[in-house]
């Protein structure tokens, strides 16, 4: 049985945002239903490359490209969405995740979302990158892990700007999976008080040029060296912490991935309503 990630959270907002009293938007990873294929998550949608049945995997590189979508903000609905590539965080016992991507926040009053670039090494707090970002921008992101050294690299192809940072860490890192994800982030008022936010209506986003290196082998999402796990984001209103309870857009707001293209390098994730978790 595939093991799946447990809930964790770290701030994705800057200290100035925290000081304002407004909830910090965070990236999280949450329980999924291990008996279901595709996997079902409260906040992830996309694909994970994981160890094949009976095998093992150690990923050292993940990369992907996407165009930042133009989100639709809803009056009176504070929501968010993040798109990222990462290594780790999929296994239920994992306490680490190395991730990099873009995000958008709607505050419930402004007509347009705020867009930004961020990186995070769970369990440490996430960091916003001072790089201009707008809908329509094409970005390419990569996370590389070599031993205890982690390199985050993101290029805004449209604006011809880039970010890169290399860190040598002492904390344990998780390299057992690689991911390409659209996520409903969380709002945290303290380290242990986090709630998954409503998922912003982003329409759809397409990950392209997806690639990973696992066990020293370079490949695509569907490379036979590892297993590709599709993940659907479906809120479950029977559980109080899930974000669709009382949603002004109705129940079952979530996102679903398409099939991966024949070359193993591309897929889309689409926002959706009225989704029902399997078995309900």
Dump pLDDT digits (tens) for 157-166.
999 999 999 9
Return the closest-CA partner of residue 85 out of 156, 18, 153: 153
Look at 25 and 43; give whichever has higher pLDDT. Answer: 43
Res 20: pLDDT: 30
| Residue 41 belongs to a domain | yes
Q: Is the peptide bond before 61 cis (omega within 30 degrees of 0)?
A: no
Local confidence band at 192 (pLDDT 50, 70, 90 cut-offs)? low
Pick the more confident residue, 280 or 269. 269
pLDDT averaged over the chain? 82
**C-alpha to C-alpha distance for 190 and 164, rounded to whole angstroms:** 29
Q: What are phi and psi of 18, to 5 degrees?
A: -60, -40
Please check whether residue 280 lies inside any domain of the structure: no
In a domain, 214, yes or no: yes
Whether the pLDDT of residue 76 is over 50: the answer is yes
* Domain assignment of residue 228, given as a range: 8-272
Say if 137 falls within a structural domain.
yes
Q: Is residue 243 part of a domain?
A: yes
Which one has a higher pLDDT value, 94 or 209?
A: 209
**For residues 158-180, average pLDDT:** 96
Lowest-confidence pick of 32-41, 59-68, 181-190, 204-213? 32-41
Q: pTM of the entire structure?
A: 0.86
What CATH number did the domain enclosing 149 receive? 2.60.120.700
Evaluate whether residue 131 is within a structural domain: yes
For residue 123, name the pLDDT band (cuts at 50, 70, 90): confident
- 157-183 average pLDDT score: 96
Asked whether residue 191 carries a pLDDT value surpassing 70, the answer given is: no
Number of domains in the chain: 1
Report if residue 26 sits inside a domain: yes
**What is the reported pLDDT for 188?**
67
Whether 8 shows a pLDDT value over 70: the answer reads no
Closest CA to 250 of 230, 276, 225, 229: 276
* 137: pLDDT strictly greater than 80: yes
What is the rounded average pLDDT of the residues 27-35? 45
Residue 3 lies in a domain: no
Q: How far is CA 121 from the centre of its chain?
A: 13
Alpha carbon distance 234, 255 (integer Å): 7
């Amino acid at each position: 049985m595939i093991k799946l990630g447990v809930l964790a959270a770290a701030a994705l907002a800057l200290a100035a945002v925290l000081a304002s009293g407004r909830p910090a938007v965070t990236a999280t990873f949450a329980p999924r239903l291990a008996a279901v294929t595709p996997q079902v998550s409260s906040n992830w949608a996309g694909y994970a490359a994981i160890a094949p049945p009976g095998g093992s995997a150690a990923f050292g590189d993940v990369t992907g490209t996407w165009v930042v979508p133009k989100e639709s903000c809803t009056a009176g609905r504070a929501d968010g969405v993040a798109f990222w590539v990462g290594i780790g965080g999929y296994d239920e016992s994992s306490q680490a995740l190395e991730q990099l991507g873009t995000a958008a926040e709607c505050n419930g009053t402004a007509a347009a979302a705020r867009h930004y670039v961020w990186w995070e090494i769970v369990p440490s707090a996430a960091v916003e990158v001072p790089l201009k970002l707008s809908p329509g921008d094409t970005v390419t992101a990569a996370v590389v892990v070599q031993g205890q050294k982690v390199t985050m690299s993101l290029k805004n192809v449209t604006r011809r700007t880039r970010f890169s940072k290399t860190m040598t860490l002492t904390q344990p890192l998780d390299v057992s999976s690689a991911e390409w994800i659209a996520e409903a982030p969380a709002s945290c008022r303290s380290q242990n008080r986090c709630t998954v936010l409503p998922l912003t209506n982003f329409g759809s986003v397409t990950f392209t040029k997806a690639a990973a290196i696992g066990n020293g082998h370079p490949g695509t999402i569907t490379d036979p060296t590892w297993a590709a796990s599709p993940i659907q984001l479906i809120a479950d209103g029977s559980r109080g912490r899930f974000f669709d309870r009382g949603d002004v857009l109705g129940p079952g707001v979530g996102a679903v991935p398409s099939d991966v293209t024949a070359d193993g390098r591309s897929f889309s994730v689409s926002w959706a309503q009225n989704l029902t978790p399997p078995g309900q």
